[in-house]
Each structure stands twice: as structure tokens, then as C-alpha cells.
Amino acid sequence: MNPYLELLRRHPLIFFHLVTAFAALALGLFMLLRRKGTPAHRTLGWCWVVLMTATALATVFIRDHRLPNVLGYTPIHLFTVLVAVSLPMGIAHVRRGNVNGHRKTMTLLYVGSCVIAGLFTLLPGRFLGSLLWGTPMTGIAS
């Protein structure tokens, strides 16, 4: 069976997290490369905010008791805190007219929470990394 269909069947929350995270990664890159300040930028920016919020909320319910953790929360969960703090801060910056602060916050949020967290997630031995590298799915209870 396709490993992603198996993931959807066995772990729908992780599948949801994967889909929203990948969509945020792709849309975020598109946003960073496009012209800023346009109506399209604002609309797509709100779509990115929704994707990032959904991705971060999903992580609150995804736990891993194999790695060093506190109640199932591992160091990668610190990126959830980064999103919870930085996303409202980036929105507040632009609403106050601080475009430079908005740009810096959203760029750092993209790099930290999409790129760096994504790389950590795909390391061999992590659940999604195991899918990518073709090793058996382990670590999350059936």
C-alpha cells in the first residue's frame, strides 16, 4: 500500500500536519518571491497564516515518547511556540505600519518553522523521516 495512504489511514492528524506544513512551505516560498503589498499578497498572506496556524495547532496533539521529551513534547515542539509568538507579532507589525518588522518576522518565521523544522522532521529515525527514507514506520502508536 502507498505509505501516504497508510499514513492517512493510521495517523490522520500527522497526515493533516504534513499536508498543511507542505502547503505552508510552498506558499511561503511563493510569497517571499512575489511583489509585496499588493491585494494578492495580503490575500495569500492570510492563507499562509491559516496554514501555519493549522500546522502549529496539529503539533499540540502530536506526541513522541521515544525521543527525549516532557509529556510527549520533544524539542521540535519549540517551533510551535515560535509560531504562536511570531505569527501574531508579524501581523501586528504590518497593522502598525512597520513593514520592515513584518518582513523580518515573517521571513524568520518561514525559515525557522517551515525550513528548519521541516528538515528536523525529515531526519532518519523521526516518523516522517522514516517515510521519506523508506524505513518502517515506528515511534507513533497504532
The pLDDT of residue 110 is 97
pLDDT at 75: 85
Closest CA to 48 of 23, 70, 74, 71: 23
Q: What is the mean pLDDT of residues 76-101?
A: 96
Q: Residues with Cβ < 8 Å from 15, sequence gap 6 or more? A: 4, 7, 8
- How would residue 135 be classed by pLDDT, with cut points 50, 70 and 90? low
- Give the residues across from 73 on adjacent strands: 70
**Range in 4-18, 19-33, 84-98, 127-141 the model is least confident about:** 127-141
